[in-house]
Amino acid sequence: MSSLGTKRLGKELAKQVSKSLPPGITLVKADDLQEWLLDIQVLDQNPIYAGETYRLKFRFGKQYPIEPPEVVFTKQENRPIPMHPHIYSNGIICLDLLGSSGWSPVQNVESVCMSIQSMLTGNTKNHRPEGDADFVSTNKARPKDIEFYYHDNEV
């Protein structure tokens, strides 16, 4: 990682360790500056996500924060993949913020988590994206190399 990236991530880490993250977001693991794990919860009474905790995996490339981090949900015991029309069952998130065109280097881990949290909070559709099974079985590309077509601004 560039010195810019390490410095910046180090700063983010120090900030998040010293100050607390917003409610519903907890830092689980940040041993190095390449991969972080965070848990997020949906705080309001959305019945789709009530009582569940989801695990996000951030991977920071060499160019972070110029380039977006790779952010996916990972599945574990009692850490399911949330139901959402923009989240595939393998954890890949279709969110313009995480693509090269929607990313801005001003974003950081905290703001990305909050975006995802609010994306879940506002959701009312309890289903996977169209063609989820196909995508999950055929996709070999890394999340940031997938060409998503961001069409749905509702959720």
Partner 1 sequence: MNQDDDPVHYPPRRSNHLLAAAAAAAAAAPSMPPPNTPEEGLVSAPTTATLALRPITRDLEMTAASPPTIAAIIPAVDLRALEYEGNVDENLICPICRVALVAPVITNCDHVFCQKCLVQAHALNPVCPVDRQPLLKLSSETRPAPKVVANQLDNLTVRCPNRPRGCDLVVARSLVENHVSRYCDKTLVPCPHPSCDKSIARKDVAKGCLHYEVDCEFCGQPVRKADLETHQDLECLNRKTNCELCDWEFVRSKQEEHTKECPEVGVTCKFAPFGCNHKMSRRHLEQHCARCEYRVVGPVGEQLAELRAEMTALKEKDRLKDRRIKFLENRGYSAPAATENISNMNLPAQETAPYESRDQYFLSLFETMESKVERLSSALTEVEGRHSMMLFNETMPIKDQLTEIRSTLGVLGMHVRWLMNFRLQERGRVLGGGGGGANSPSLPGTSQESSSDSNLPRRLSDTMREHPPRL
From the CB of 91, what's the least distance to partner 1, in Å? 25
Q: Least separation, in Å, of the C-beta of 105 and partner 1?
A: 4
Find the shortest distance in angstroms from Cβ 5 to partner 1: 9
8 vs 128, beta carbon nearer partner 1: 8
Q: Which is nearer to partner 1, 92 or 97 (CB)?
A: 97
Active site residue 94: yes
**Residues near partner 1 (CB under 8 A):** 3-4, 7-8, 11-12, 63, 65-67, 100-101, 103-106, 108
Q: Which is nearer to partner 1, 12 or 91 (CB)?
A: 12
CA 29-82-71 angle, to 5 degrees, is 45
Least distance in Å: CB of 147 to partner 1? 16
Q: Which is nearer to partner 1, 1 or 83 (CB)?
A: 1
HEC sequence for the chain: CCHHHHHHHHHHHHHHHHCCCCCCEEEEECCCCCEEEEEEECCCCCCCCCCCEEEEEEECCCCCCCCCCEEEEECECCECCCCECCECCCCEECCHHHCCCCCCCCCCHHHHHHHHHHHHHCCCCCCCCCCHHHHHHHCCCCHHHCCCCCCCCCC
- Among 92, 94, 112, 120, the active-site one is 94
Which positions are catalytic?
94
